[in-house]
Amino acid sequence: MNAYMGYDRILGPKQGAILIFAKTSKEAKLISYKMIHSWFSSSWIDVSIKKMDAHHLFKHADQLKLMNNIPHIIDDVEVCYRCQLWGEYEVTDGLCECCRN
Ligand SMILES: [Zn+2]
């Protein structure tokens, strides 16, 4: 399983991004499109899926689904209160590593 970030490419990930666990980016898009569309009325081509090479993201996964290789989405990942992002850097106590330094 890989971790992906799904967001509307016009609005950008700051407006809202979904964490997706899936085997391929295609599968990630399939399972996250409905939610991104419901947030932003995004069209299929405007939904961006970015592969995340950040191991700390796996702690947000549904561990049972992860263990059983069931693709799923997490739509309430904790964001850094300063930059409003999650993903590249681990967020601890409300701040990401980048903003902390
Ligand atoms: Zn930050």
pLDDT at 7: 97
Predicted confidence at residue 43, as pLDDT, reads 97
Strand order in the sheet with 47-52: 47-52, 2-8, 17-22, 72-74
Distance 77 CA to ligand 1 centre (A): 13
- Report how far ligand 1's centroid is from the alpha carbon of 83 (Å): 4
Residue ranges of the chain with per-residue pLDDT less than 50: none
| Residue 17, pLDDT score | 95
pTM of the complete model: 0.93
Instruction: Report how many helices (DSSP H) and strands (DSSP E) the chain contains, helices first.
Output: 3, 6
Q: What is the pLDDT of residue 8?
A: 97
What distance in angstroms lies between residue 52's CA and the mean position of ligand 1's atoms?
A: 17
**In terms of residue numbers, what domain contains 92?**
2-100
> Structural domain tally of the chain?
1
Q: How far is the CA of 69 from the centre of ligand 1 (A)?
A: 30
